[in-house]
Amino acid sequence: MSHEHADSKLDLPDRLRRNRRTASIRGLVRETMLSPADFILPLFVHESSSDEPIESMPGCHRWSLEGLVNEVGEAAKLGVQAVVFFPKIEEDLKSPRGEECANPEGLVQRAIRAVKSAHPNVTVITDVALDPYNSDGHDGIVEADSETGDLRILNDPTVDVLCEQALSHAAAGADLVSPSDMMDGRVGAIRAALDDADFEDVGIMSYTAKYASAYYGPFRGALDSAPKAGDKKTYQMDPANWREALREAEADTAEGADILMVKPAGPYLDIIRAVREESDLPLAAYQVSGEYLMIQSAARDGWIDREQVMMESLTGIKRAGADMILTYFAKEAARKLG
Ligand code: PBG
């Protein structure tokens, strides 16, 4: 019996473990490689001269303009060359139509100018949606049915405001505008508005398949942007659907999107793969606040290894087919790849 192990030999011409034997061989056969150039860092900005840690998103801050410019510089030094901004808007600037979103002197517009003048080579992407500006906390203009009180999010009037918002971002120097609202027809309308105003070099990264997800919870906490009533299920997609994501991708492509996006990322890897297979456009995926927070909190309690799970989650998203990843881990992952 003592020779049992030595004697047993399978007739196996193919032994997959040969390619896993050493770190060097594993490096040679690795199929998916992350690079800091893949990452887009989402940054929060507020109207204040101080930088505030965000309780619902440990490791993230609401930046002052100065803090924001500084943070973009830090990211760029690590090789993260693209950022996207999300503003926390003062309550008294919010309104039903969210007009503040297109104010040339608004917070985001000033942030774009400040960051582009300090870091001209960094790609500045802006979120186009009404929720930070809308007094109802929705991504579009809300109308309440006078009899039932049911809320309706008005598609076409919202698209008009989104075009104004996108134009104001382009005028301030944004490289790409990124509509996250999920209104129908907004990509085509924004493309036409940009072209009419001679902003044909400003690109559109469209939130193509954005799901009505509970994983956005910590983000809404960070910006005080949760809907005051109702939910986002009449415009964001049903988590149960995948064929519909392909229809969204077709529509955005036909309307002139430069980059498509799937959001959230980790729980929607099949959608990333499906869109990747269907479309030749570059594809982004957004590892959202809830995905980030779950990793951060499990690691804080010592349940998982933060760095390893961070890298594994990002590798999975890229392996599924994403070319680029919006992630709150951008700086840390870049440092690790360093
Ligand atoms: C809103 C917007 C949201 C996120 C990005 N843009 C929240 C929402 O749709 O309610 C979520 C990002 C995250 O959770 O990290 N236009």
pLDDT tens per residue, range 109-163: 999 999 999 999 999 999 999 999 999 999 999 998 888 888 999 999 999 999 9
Average pLDDT, the chain: 96
Is 2's pLDDT higher than 70?
A: no
Q: Which two tokens stand for residue 122?
A: 């960094």
Q: Give CA 156 to chain center in angstroms.
A: 24
Q: Is 182 in the pocket of ligand 1 (CB under 6 A)?
A: no
Cα–Cα dist 116/176, whole Å: 12
If one residue of 85, 139, 177, 216 were mutated to test the ligand 1 pocket, choosing by the most ligand atoms within 8 A of its CB, it would be 216
Give 20 Cα–ligand 1 centroid separation in angstroms: 40
pTM of the complete model:
0.96
The alpha carbon of 139 and the centre of ligand 1 are apart by a number of angstroms equal to 10
Long-range contacts of 212-215 (CB under 8 A, 24+ apart): 212/236, 212/237, 212/238, 212/239, 213/239, 213/263, 213/264, 213/267, 213/288, 213/290, 214/290, 215/264, 215/267, 215/288, 215/289, 215/290, 215/291
**126: in domain:** yes
* Residue 275 belongs to domain with CATH number: 3.20.20.70
User: Does residue 224 carry a pLDDT above 60?
Assistant: yes
Helical axes 330-337 vs 65-77, angle rounded to 10°: 30
Ligand 1 and 291: CB distance under 6 A? no
Token pair 């690109």 is found at: 203
- What is the residue-wise DSSP string for 172-195? HT-SEEEE-S--TTHHHHHHHHHH
pLDDT at 163: 98
- Mutational test site, ligand 1, from 208, 219, 326, 329, max ligand atoms within 8 Å of CB: 219
Q: Is 336 a catalytic residue?
A: no
Let me know if residue 18 belongs to a domain. Answer: no
216 lines ligand 1 (CB under 6 A): yes
11-42 tens-digit pLDDT? 999 999 999 999 999 999 999 999 999 999 99
Distance CA 136, CA 127 (A): 18
232-289 residue pLDDT tens: 999 999 999 999 999 999 999 999 999 999 999 999 999 999 999 999 999 999 999 9
Distance of CA 78 to the CA centre of its chain: 19
Q: What is the pLDDT of residue 197?
A: 98
* 227 preceded by a cis bond (ω within 30 of 0): no
Distance 58 CA to ligand 1 centre (A): 17
Query: Which region, left, alpha or beta, applies to residue 46 given φ > 0 means left and ψ of -120 to 50 means alpha?
Result: beta
Indicate whether 6 belongs to any domain.
Answer: no
Instruction: For ligand 1, say whether the CB of 85 is within 6 Å of any of its atoms.
Output: no
CB of 89 sitting under 6 A from ligand 1:
no
Q: What is the pLDDT of residues 42-71, one digit of tens each?
A: 999 999 999 999 998 999 999 999 999 999
Q: Which two tokens stand for residue 123?
A: 């790609």
- Angle at 9 (CA atoms; ends 7, 12), nearest 5 degrees: 175
The two three-digit tokens of residue 106, written as one number: 């608004």
Check if 289 has its Cβ closer than 6 Å to any atom of ligand 1.
yes
Q: What is the pLDDT of residue 4?
A: 63
Does the residue 301 lie in any domain?
A: yes
217 in a domain, yes or no?
yes
Catalytic residue among 210, 232, 318, 331: 210
Position 223 scores a pLDDT of 87
Among 101-110, 155-164, 214-223, name the one with the lowest average pLDDT: 214-223
Question: Which of 88, 94, 116, 263 is flagged as catalytic?
Answer: 263
User: How does DSSP assign 125-139, residue by residue?
Assistant: EEEE-STTTBTT-SS
Residue 265 lies in a domain: yes
* Ligand 1 centre distance from Cα of residue 87 (Å): 11
Residue that has been written with the tokens 């959608």 in this structure: 271
Using pLDDT thresholds of 50, 70 and 90, give the confidence band for residue 6.
confident
Residue 77 a catalytic site member: no
Atom of ligand 1 nearest to the CA of 130: 16
Number of domains observed in the structure of the chain: 1
For 159, the domain range is 32-337
Q: Ligand 1 centre and the CA of 244: distance in Å?
A: 20
